[in-house]
Structure 1
Amino acid sequence: MSGFDNWEKLVQKQLKTDDIYAILQKENLENIEVKPYYQNNSETKILPKVEESTHLVAEYQDGLEEQAFAFLLNENVEGLEEKAIFINNQDLAEHILTKETNRYFSLIDVFSDDKKAEINEHLAGELLSKTFERQIGVDVSFHQNAGASIIQQLAFALTKSKELVEKFGSEILEKLVFRFAIGSNYFFEIAKIRAFKYLFNHLSKEFEKDLIPYIFAETSFRNKAKNDSDNNLIRSTLELASAMIGGSDAVFSNDYKIENQTKLSKEISFKQQIVLAYESIINVFEDATSGSYFVEDITQQFAEKSWKLLLEIEEKGGYLELLKSGEIQKMIFEQAVKEQSWVEEGKIKIIGVNLYPKLEKKKSVEELYNSNEIKAVRLAEMFE
């Protein structure tokens, strides 16, 4: 009898049942099989990132120049030297004055997110003419904030990449920054980043390349609440940890306050990253969870399910075609409403919203969601 069988018999004895999986396994929104324990003898490999050390990105404000080496800019700032600059505004991307001492990355997505369903070719041309290290953003953070599943997010990032290749050629793959929002399911979000590395590398090989994706990860708005900003801070800290451990090239913390944001709240939000990086150096390690049987297994499941969804989308005409027909919107709507129902039923617990204290429901699903629109909705809005 193997060690695994011995372990299983021991668990059966302690739980006093032969059907231990019915007790130990939990349902999840992604339909990913999570085992109570693992035996894995397969070989694993390190999944690299582009940057040697993850950039800790701050929203620019006076006084942070000495503390931050990477900034998210919505407007031009003069005098920055030896910084990584992430450009978050279309007008800024077109008119920014670059300096040789800085590194520049565009987070500007050239896809429309409505039923117009088109690529802004003029904007893409303007961005591609710039001397940035990466000129085009592929944004799936707004899909996450609208309630899309992890599998949907990964498939959308891939199919948008393929649309760009069809429009601009395979060289575009080396000029992309992928923008993900990181949710609250700690290990799943680590696996999401890792799975995308597998998937994008596989996609690039379809075009005779062998590429690593550049990943910009930010904290989600989806699980944040207006009334309990201290808990928002805890949630976003865990999200940042997932992003760093998963191997993101840059991380950014949105303000933990939904309302009444201040200069101090923005600074505290950024300094979460400082504490994580300098106290635990998790921004330096390359693929820290490689070899973890649990993380490797769910990474593989995400990769397989996302690639399958990608193929289904492509068979139906691709991302833009499904956006035009409303199918992308409907896919996200169905997933988002299911997640919202889990919050309403208490299957997903959000402290200060449906637990400690349990707030009263004030809005219906119909008021919050629209099957014809990709719309950012916070889960707590139902109770606010």
Structure 2
Amino acid sequence: MAKEKLFEEFTNVSSKEWKQKIQVELKGADYNDTLVWESLEGIKVKPFYHNDEFENNVAVETQNTTFQILQDIYVHDVAKSNIKAKDVLNRGAETIRFTLENENISIEELMQNLPLENNKYSFYLPFLSIDFVQKLETFALQNQAHFTIQLDSIGHLVKDGNWFENLEKDFDQLNTINQKNKIPFLSINTTSYQNAGANMVQQLAYALAHVNEYFNRIETIKQPITFEVAVGSNYFFEIAKLRALRILFNTLASAYNHKLDCKIVAVPTKRNKTLYDYNVNMLRTTTECMSAILGGANEVSNLPYDAIYHKDNEFGDRISRNQLLVLKNESYFDKVDNPADGAYYIEILTEQLAEKALALFKDIEANGGFITQLIEGTIQRKIKESADKEQELFDNGKEVLLGTNKYPNKNDRMKDDLELYPFVKQNPRKTLITPIIERRLAEKLEQERLSQEQ
């Protein structure tokens, strides 16, 4: 259907005329110095965007914004996890993702009496086992269940510093799983890049280089691939980031004759979350989930406001889930297909992020590929350089976290509330590569405040 042109009876005003008007209002101040700012990605953001500066719409293949509310459950006690899954499904969750700590877990016991027809279940496996994947597939086929497995050997290498076994054996097993099984099994976990301080161009390029290693090393991937993405608080940039990811993936996948669209699972970042004035975390995660939905995420898993210092608890989970329920059922965020389509600012951001990420991806491939650059330490060094720039902005007060480095409540006391250690943990050991370490912006400041608490 042709797009209806509105307000045709009004005289068109060109971008040049708008800029001249703004220049008059600035009373001699320089337009570029005053109103144009540059992001950490090197993108210059203008105060307005006009269609006469915009040549083509960016083609983003988003299915729709009917996102699924994803609830994460870490399986330590199978019976309790089963009870929790039933409970959260009754309270609004639509998809469950089980994180399994080992392969000795009974699938039958875990899935006992859970509704299978209209609900989807994901299984994040921090281990690599052909037999266990086969058990999941057998259960899914016998019970007509909608299962997705999240396996990521490269992601494990990124976070842990080592393969599950070694490069050759890991990919031998992944190839076997690809040949034998029909349910989706391959996941690209990109959250470590964002949580460690990579800028958005790096996040996109590393995601692309990450999945390209699988395309090169696994013969004819037959199932849809899942991307897990961390979303920050730069609202419009994050919308554009997810849109750019889908464009870049489809471009790369077509080169391998892989015609299946990817699935994007979005989670709020941990990098900007704070220990003090922790209720502000709810505001941050709300806008981050909004960006994820508008950017075309298929599933969204919210981060509880107290996740960095409290153990998993019913209240935190319920509040985080209710945030998504409000966005879906009261704010109607799932009712419009591709809502960012035609928004000049977002379209141009999408295009610029995609172009810069593609250039960086090509540079990675020209210099040995993603795994080689991880082993050489190039990826880690680049992320650290980006993280240091952002950390400097935070330390100088230019990157603001309300309640932490601006308008802090000096009477806040947190020392007695810590159930989890909220800072980077040191675990010296021998690894193949230097792991990519996730680090929050506020850690140093928070450690200083904790040491001064009476």
Q: What's the TM-score once normalised by structure 1's chain length?
A: 0.90
Identity %: 29
* In 2: Cα distance, 1:101 partner to 1:231 partner: 42
1:146 to 196, 215, 226: 196
What is the CA distance between 1:171 and its match in structure 2? Answer: 2.8
Letter in 2 for 1:244: I
- The Cα of 1:43 is off from its aligned counterpart by 3.7
1:350 counterpart = 2:393 = no
- Corresponding residue for residue 113 of structure 2: 79
Q: Is the 8 A contact 1:127 1:136 kept in 2?
A: no
Q: Which runs of 5+ in 2 are unaligned?
A: 1-11, 74-83, 101-109, 411-423, 447-454
After superposition, the C-alpha distances for 1:135-163 in whole angstroms (9 at most, x for unaligned) are 11011111111111111111111111111
Shift of 1:287: 1.5
Distance of 2:329 and 2:320 partners within structure 1:
15
Which AA in structure 1 matches 2:288?
Answer: E
Question: Over the residues paired in the alignment, what is the CA RMSD in angstroms?
Answer: 2.7
Q: Distance in 1 between matches of 2:375 and 2:369?
A: 10
Q: Do the aligned partners of residues 204 and 339 (structure 1) sit closer, same or farther apart at CA in structure 2, a change above 3 Å counting?
A: same
Distance 1:46 1:316, change over 3 A: closer
Alpha-carbon offset, residue 219 of structure 1: 1.0
Decide whether aligned partners of structure 1 residues 102 and 259 sit closer, same or farther in structure 2, where only a CA change above 3 A counts: same
2:254 pairs with 1:205: yes
**1:208 positional shift:** 3.5
SS in 2 for 1:275: helix
| 1:33 and 1:298 in contact (8 A); partners too | no
- Say if 1:52 and 1:275 are closer, same or farther in 2 by CA, change over 3 A: closer
Question: 1:110–1:123: 8 Å Cα contact kept in structure 2?
Answer: no
Alignment of 1:302-381 (within 5 A): 302-357=353-408, 372-381=434-443
Match of 2:71 in 1: 58
Ranges in structure 1 where 5+ consecutive residues have no aligned partner = 360-365
Q: CA deviation at 1:263?
A: 1.0
Whether 1:248 aligns to 2:297 is yes
| 1:189-204 aligned within 5 A | 189-204=238-253
Superposition pairs for residues 4-83 of structure 1, below 5 Å?
4-17=15-28, 19-41=30-52, 42-44=55-57, 47-50=60-63, 53-60=66-73, 61=84, 62-66=86-90, 67-75=92-100, 76-80=110-114, 81-82=116-117, 83=119
Q: 1:88 aligns with which of 124, 149, 165?
A: 124
State the distance in 2 between where 1:170 and 1:310 align.
Answer: 21
| Matched residue SS, 2:121 | strand
Alignment-derived partner of residue 328 in structure 2:
277
Q: Give me the TM-score of the superposition, normalised by structure 2.
A: 0.77
- Alignment of 1:217 with 2:217, yes or no, is no
The CA distance in 2 between the partners of 1:162 and 1:296, in whole Å, is: 25
- 1:324 and 1:203, CA in 2 relative to 1: closer, same or farther beyond 3 A? same
Q: Note if contact 1:156-1:310 (Cα within 8 Å) is conserved in structure 2.
A: yes
Q: Max radius of gyration: which structure?
A: 2
Deviation at 1:3, TM superposition (A): 2.3
Encode CA deviations 1:301-335: one digit per residue, 9 max, x unaligned: 10000000000000011000001111111111111
Aligned position for 1:362: none
| Amino acid corresponding to residue 186 of structure 2 in structure 1 | I
Please give the per-residue CA displacement for 1:28-55, whole angstroms capped at 9, x wherever unaligned: 2111121111122434256233577211
Q: Counterpart in 1 of 2:319? A: 268
What is the CA distance between 1:351 and its match in structure 2?
A: 0.7
What's the counterpart of residue 147 of structure 2?
104
Distance 1:341 1:166 in 2: 38
Residue aligned with 1:85, SS: strand
Asked if the contact 2:377–2:434 (Cα under 8 Å) also holds between the matched residues in 1, the reply is yes
Verify: 1:162 aligned to 2:212, yes or no: yes
Following TM superposition, the consecutive aligned residue runs of length 4 or more in structure 1 with deviations greater than 4 angstroms are 114-117
- For residue 347 of structure 2, what is the aligned residue in structure 1? 296
